[in-house]
């Protein structure tokens, strides 16, 4: 395997077998273990498992395809649980609720994530005939599920994750929409509102819609649809949740309506499933299918067919956590073949992500993948037999002769497996062209996207200082040294408008049987109207669900919720800096600048960093400007301005003197001050939790302190592979 050092670290920490002496298998050993285990299913059909095993190994070893994490971790090992996603029903009874809670704990223990619809539970205050009391409602039981998930740590390899869905016509919908307004609550849940066509029509017509008690099936009241929609938008703007799923649209694409109604999805929203159903996922690395400046459709098609064979075999060798899950899964035999590396493919092809050409390519690629995947599934159905409910399926109605799998395509988040493959995640744009990665001994490395680095070196504008500036800025835009055509192609997540995020998701959704996991990124300056426009466009373009994230929106305190308009800000007195303390502590750092040496002193007291002094060496420089900067920074710090915001403003400022000398570690005196401030913040363990300068807003990784990225309702660290949903 051609693995980066980062990929090897992730594999050793999270995937490879360990014994009392540590890691006891190589990445190649892992692939052989997985390939042999999955290929063994062939023997039951009279097929040659040995040749299949080699084909599976080669496909993974070339990094053209990787299965989901549980398959890599558990195939050929004692646990043997290979599925990533499950949906469990939550019945409207104490017995049913706690049966589901127990089953969820077993799934989490085995490394899977769970989705629930709480829509069957009667609303808070409804009567309970068996006790004569009143019901506590779905949100109270969600808190119980959340606490249970917190208690199950899944052996340190995968953390518990849940999706909680409530229909928009449930009487407790307003409480549900705001149940994560306190970001310390429901930390193990992603939540989404299940929207119906009737509701969306009421929003468009500005009418009321009915609330229905799921127990009695009777109307309990009505709400103005626009007010509910406004509240969903408000909360999503504030914290990224709730997401939305279009339930009627999902069920319209249900391949076997006779099997029941789909009411929930897996934790990241891309896999709608029936109660007690599971799905195994895998992803094609599109980045590996570029040949001579064009898409290698021949190679891609061959890999699609082999990947379908692989994922179908997983269903047979999987050790399911519950018998009923095994039975339900094998009735439908759903698989979810998706993609990763799309953004990297675009870089190779010289196509900007935010362009009509890219949207068309996404649509064409996914149409090709589904066409070949269905053909492979049909051929397997003829050879091995169709899925048991085929006779009641839409395929039978359409005259298809056989189909092995009820669904074949899903676009899942690929956080850690894309790190292993050394490529971009899912269909997401690249998060950063250059970023800072924390390594041992508090050292930092500047990681640069390989395609960009190669291009920059070949065209003579590569420098370590420029890469550091890009890492701080989070974008190439506005950097004079980088040619315009390069800026146009090498775009990152925050260079792309929400409209193009939605349009790209729609392009892939058109040929995806299940759904598409994607984060629609918004800048921190985005308005509520911007979020609403994205939701409206998602509905218009046929998406099955949407997850949005506004930069930095999860960095505040407990949020208040309401549909009333914000009051106008009241006039306040001018800020006044606190008194300078008599005694402070601090550090002084000597830094070489373009015109000599600069000595920067940063002091702090018990209340935080409070002042900065600068002194320019004998060689000259701009002492008056440095002193002015220091005084203003000191006043801002003692007035309560966030130190991280000050750092963000100072870092990256350039001085003409730095252009004359190579090897300098700073760009100017203000940049030097920002660097020393940043160093003091790190030494003190962090002043406050704020969004990173590059605009991720996802916080620091709890395991390696590198910056995390938002992906499909989760956060993932591309330095060490840590991920968490909820």
CA–CA gap between residue 258 and residue 263 (Å, rounded): 14
Which among 221, 196, 197 has a CA at the least distance from the CA of 210?
Answer: 221
In whole angstroms, how far apart are CA 369 and each of 300, 415, 511, 512, 628? 8, 21, 8, 9, 61
Residue 505 near residue 152 (C-beta atoms within 8 A): no
Q: Find, among 28, 2, 65, 510, the residue nearest to 287 by Cα.
A: 65
Distances (CA, A) of 361 to 343, 519, 659: 11, 19, 41
Catalytic residue, candidates 234, 241, 263, 270 = 270
Q: Are strands 278-285 and 65-67 parallel, antiparallel or unpaired?
A: antiparallel
* Residue (of 477, 476, 529, 521) closest to 499 by Cα position: 521
Residue with tokens 């050993």: 29
HSE of 551, CA atoms in CB hemisphere, 13 A: 19
Q: How far apart are CA 310 and CA 66, in angstroms?
A: 10
In 3D space, the residue among 73, 158, 42 whose CA is nearest the CA of residue 111 turns out to be: 158
Q: Which of 268, 610, 669, 704 is catalytic?
A: 268
Can 268 be counted among the known catalytic residues?
yes
* Tokens standing for residue 185: 């609550």
> How many angstroms separate the CA atoms of 689 and 706, rounded?
13
Residue 266 a catalytic site member = yes
Burial of 299 (0-12, 13-18, 19+ CB in 10 A): middle
Name the DSSP class of 117. Answer: E
List the catalytic residue out of 266, 354, 438, 644. Answer: 266
Tell me whether the omega of the peptide bond preceding residue 242 falls within 30 degrees of 0, making it cis.
yes
Q: How far is CA 487 from CA 317, 450, 478, 493, 599, in A?
A: 48, 15, 9, 13, 36
Q: Burial-class residue 156 by CB neighbours within 10 Å (0-12, 13-18, 19+).
A: exposed
Cα 688–chain centre separation:
24
Rounded Cα distance between 547 and 245, Å, is 9
Neighbours of 48 (CB within 10 A): 11
Nearest to 68 by CA among 83, 48, 57: 83
- Is residue 383 within 8 A of residue 329, CB to CB? The reply is no
Residues annotated as catalytic are: 266, 268, 270
């Amino acid at each position: 395997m051609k693995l980066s050092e980062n990929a090897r670290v992730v594999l050793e920490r999270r995937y490879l077998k360990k014994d009392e002496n540590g890691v006891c298998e190589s990445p190649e050993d892992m692939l052989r273990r997985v390939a042999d285990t999955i290929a063994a299913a062939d023997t039951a059909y009279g097929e040659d498992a040995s040749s299949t095993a080699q084909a599976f190994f080669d496909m993974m070893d070339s990094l053209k395809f990787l299965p989901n994490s549980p398959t890599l971790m558990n195939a050929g090992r004692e646990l043997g649980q290979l599925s990533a996603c499950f949906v469990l029903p939550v019945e409207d009874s104490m017995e049913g609720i706690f049966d589901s809670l127990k089953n969820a704990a077993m799934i989490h223990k085995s490394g899977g994530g769970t989705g629930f619809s709480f829509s069957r539970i009667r609303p808070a205050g409804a009567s309970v005939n068996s006790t004569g009391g009143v019901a506590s409602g779905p949100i109270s039981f969600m808190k119980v599920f959340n606490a249970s998930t917190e208690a199950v740590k899944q052996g340190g390899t995968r953390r518990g994750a849940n999706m909680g869905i409530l229909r928009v016509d449930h009487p407790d919908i307003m409480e549900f929409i705001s149940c994560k307004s306190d970001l310390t609550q429901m930390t193990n849940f992603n939540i989404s509102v299940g929207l119906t066509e009737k509701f969306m029509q009421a929003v468009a017509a500005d009418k009321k819609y009915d609330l229905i008690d799921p127990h009695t099936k009777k109307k309990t009241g009505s709400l103005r649809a626009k007010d509910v929609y406004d509240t969903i938008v408000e909360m999503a703007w504030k914290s990224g949740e709730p997401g939305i799923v279009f339930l009627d649209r999902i069920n319209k694409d249900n391949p076997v309506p006779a099997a029941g109604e789909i009411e929930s999805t897996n934790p990241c929203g891309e896999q709608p499933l029936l109660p007690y159903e599971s799905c195994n996922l895998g992803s094609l690395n599109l980045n590996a299918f570029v040949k001579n400046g064009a898409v290698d459709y021949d190679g891609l098609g061959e890999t699609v067919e082999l990947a379908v064979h692989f994922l179908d075999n997983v269903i047979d060798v999987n050790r399911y956590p519950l018998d009923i899950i095994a039975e339900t899964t094998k009735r439908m035999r759903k698989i979810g073949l998706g993609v990763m590396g799309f953004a990297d493919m675009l870089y190779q092809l010289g196509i900007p992500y935010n362009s009509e050409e890219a949207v068309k390519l996404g649509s064409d690629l996914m149409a090709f993948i589904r066409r070949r995947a269905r053909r492979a599934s049909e051929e397997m159905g003829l050879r091995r037999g169709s899925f048991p409910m085929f006779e009641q399926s839409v395929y039978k109605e359409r005259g298809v002769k056989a189909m092995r799998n009820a669904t074949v395509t899903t676009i899942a988040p690929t956080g850690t497996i894309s790190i292993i493959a050394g490529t971009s995640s899912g269909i997401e744009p690249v998060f950063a062209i250059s970023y800072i990665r924390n390594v041992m001994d508090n050292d930092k490395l500047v990681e640069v996207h390989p395609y960009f680095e190669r291009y920059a070196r070949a065209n003579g504008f590569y420098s370590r200082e420029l890469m550091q500036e890009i890492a701080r800025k989070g974008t190439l835009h506005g950097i004079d040294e980088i040619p315009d055509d390069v800026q146009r192609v090498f775009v990152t997540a925050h260079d792309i408008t929400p409209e193009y995020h939605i349009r790209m998701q729609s392009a892939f959704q058109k040929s995806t049987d299940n759904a598409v996991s994607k984060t629609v990124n918004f800048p921190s300056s985005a308005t509520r109207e911007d979020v609403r426009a994205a939701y409206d466009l998602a509905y218009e373009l046929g998406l099955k669900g949407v997850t949005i994230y506004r930069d930095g929106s999860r960095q505040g305190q407990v949020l208040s919720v309401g549909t009333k308009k914000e009051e106008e800000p009241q006039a306040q007195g001018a800020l006044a800096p606190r008194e300078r303390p008599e005694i402070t502590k601090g550090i002084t750092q000597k830094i070489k600048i373009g015109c000599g040496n600069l000595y920067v002193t940063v002091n702090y007291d018990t209340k935080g960093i409070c002042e900065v002094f600068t002194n320019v060496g004998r060689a000259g420089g701009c002492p008056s400007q440095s002193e002015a900067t220091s005084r203003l920074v000191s006043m801002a710090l003692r007035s309560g301005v966030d130190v991280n915001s000050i750092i963000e403003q100072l870092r990256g400022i350039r001085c003409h003197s730095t252009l004359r000398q190579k090897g300098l570690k700073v760009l100017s005196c203000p940049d030097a001050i920002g660097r020393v401030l940043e160093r003091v913040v790190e030494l003190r363990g962090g002043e406050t939790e704020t969004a990173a300068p590059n605009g991720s807003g996802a916080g620091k990784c709890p395991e390696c302190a590198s910056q995390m990225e938002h992906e499909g309702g989760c956060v993932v660290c591309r330095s060490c592979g840590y991920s968490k949903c909820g």
